[in-house]
Amino acid sequence: MNILWAPWRIKYILGKKEKNCIFCIHNREGTDEENLILYRGKLTTVIMNKYPYNNGHLLVAPIRHVPELDDLTIEELADLMIKIRASVDFLRKEMQPDGFNVGLNIGKVAGAGVAAHLHFHIVPRWNGDTSFMTTLGETRVIPESLKETYKRLKPYFDKLREEE
């Protein structure tokens, strides 16, 4: 039997579970850094994924709690796309990935972990980022802590907020 030690997971296992929607930022207690919120806008929010596929895995969601694209206004759709484009640009500048996966899962059956609140995933990708650990061990290796990634990305989103 192979054993992979992950002592940092105990905080999640034993910790308080989210009762409210993770994307409804007005329901979140604590600081933005604690909650991994990089950007709060009038229509859109950008949050780091707490359980990322890769470093820099971001979630872009409308502020309004809606499950479907049809529920969004034209202004919300446009703002989401603008924030997705900005997020990709910031990740490209700071982390120099070789590419990106940008996607949206609509409905639980399609893989939406939080089906009630529409959100886009932005996952930076690097050549060779799926190693034998992912392929054989079904285990992802995330080389940088969430706090360090947050500190690297936050200034870009602060500047975006100031420019609005």
Which one, of 103, 149, 85, 92, lies nearest residue 126 by Cα? Answer: 92
> What per-residue string of b and e applies to 105-116 under the rule 16 or more CB within 10 Å gives b?
beeeeeebebbe
111 known ligand binder: yes
88 known ligand binder: no
113 known ligand binder: yes
Does the active-site annotation cover 119?
yes
Q: How far apart are CA 112 and CA 128, in angstroms?
A: 26
- Which of the following is catalytic: 26, 57, 65, 119? 119
78 known ligand binder: no
- Using DSSP's 3-state secondary structure scheme, residue 98 falls into coil
- Positions annotated as catalytic residues are 119
Annotated binding site for substrate: 49, 111-114, 121
